[in-house]
Structure 1
Amino acid sequence: MRRSAPHADRPAPELTLALRIQAKRWRELADLRQRVADATQAALAVAPVTPLEGAELSLLMTDDKRIRVVNRDWRGFDKPTNVLSFPAAPPERIAGSPVLGDIVLAYETIAREAQDEGKDFGDHVSHLVIHGLLHLLGEDHETPAQAERMEALEIAALARLGIADPYADSEPLAPTLVLSTAS
């Protein structure tokens, strides 16, 4: 996998974005295409993996009903969710893949979360596009260390867009207990 130090001084590669709007409510977000493009560039600017220039990224803007089916069929969770990511290649090969994968976003869940958390809907969409793309590039949040790393990348990408830290008011990660056998 092609990994490098954070690359604020080098331009992020341009991706080929395939944006499909399956739920009409998404059309209410007037700047959706630009917001998605800006969020992907911000994520690429901070991501430790550099994809191929022109690699394809597919985004499906859907609703709770449809994402629930996808979540059930692919992950075994029979409920709607905000974002799902389906990488086209394993993490160690994603940098050389001409296709990064698919991101699926559900309007109602995202709108509900934004309202409940007092966030701007468009900013929340940008955050979830960044989150989804980082997953495609091999980042995860299964362990506290992974979650901390991924959140830091998300915060850095959002800062590039002028969007505040979405984790600022959340509970900090629980400290990890380290056991030492040294005496």
Structure 2
Amino acid sequence: MITKTKRLNLDVQFGTAKLQEKWEEVITTLKAKKWVKAALQNDASITLRFVGQAEGKKLNSTYRHKDYATNVLTFPYDLAPESNEVIADIVICLPVVEKEAKEQKKVVEQHLIHLIVHGTLHAQGFDHEDEVEAEAMEELEVAILKKLKQGNPYI
């Protein structure tokens, strides 16, 4: 069986020049494309934006009415349903990722990869609102991360 390679139009953005300077060697477009593509089931156009605490908090407050920065926010858009193309913005708050990785005794890049996979799955309609959905999404994440030679983030 031949599987068609998914087409990905990826725009990688950094919220500030300071963030870009600090992270551009860890988060290259080539790496980001590999991480996002691993989680894709359809063609996609995705903007992956890496932000600081202030922008992360503002977005979370505006769109989720929560007054803190969260690790990942996904904004899926239903603009091309006839083609099944995934169109989404995924926002990663790097200071939160760093803090969580330290607290969980994880390598920052591994935690980042997990969150990018997680956000990409959300862009495709996966969710974890109840126990059944959460378990299915976690199993899928673990399988994708294994393909990327990453450990199970839930252990």
Alignment TM-score > 0.5, same fold: yes
1:86 aligns with: 75
2:126 aligns with: 139
Deviation at 1:94, TM superposition (A): 5.1
2:97, 2:111 within 8 Å by CA — same for their partners in 1? Answer: yes
Cα pair distance change 1:40/1:12, threshold 3 Å? farther
Deviation at 1:100, TM superposition (A): 1.4
Determine which structure has more spread, i.e. the larger CA radius of gyration.
Answer: 1
1:25-58 CA distances to partner (integer Å, 9 max, x unpaired)? 34433131233111112112xxxxx323xx3101
For 2:26, give the aligned amino acid: D
The answer to whether 1:42 aligns with 2:31 is no
SS at match of 1:112: helix
2:42 aligns with: 51
Normalised TM-score (structure 2): 0.89
* Identical pairs, percent: 30
- Structure with the largest fraction of helix: 2
Deviation at 1:99, TM superposition (A): 5.2
2:136 aligns with: 149
SS at match of 2:88: strand
Deviation at 1:95, TM superposition (A): 7.4
- Structure with the largest fraction of strand: 2
SS at match of 2:58: helix
Deviation at 1:61, TM superposition (A): 0.6
* Aligned mates of 2:48, 2:127 — CA distance in 1: 19
* Aligned mates of 1:120, 1:42 — CA distance in 2: 20
Counterpart selection for 2:26 from 31, 38, 46: 31
RMSD: 2.0
Residues 1-20 of structure 1: pairs in structure 2 closer than 5 A: 10-20=3-13
Normalised TM-score (structure 1): 0.76
For 1:28, give the aligned amino acid: K
Cα pair distance change 1:94/1:126, threshold 3 Å? farther
2:98, 2:108 within 8 Å by CA — same for their partners in 1? Answer: yes
For 2:59, give the aligned amino acid: V
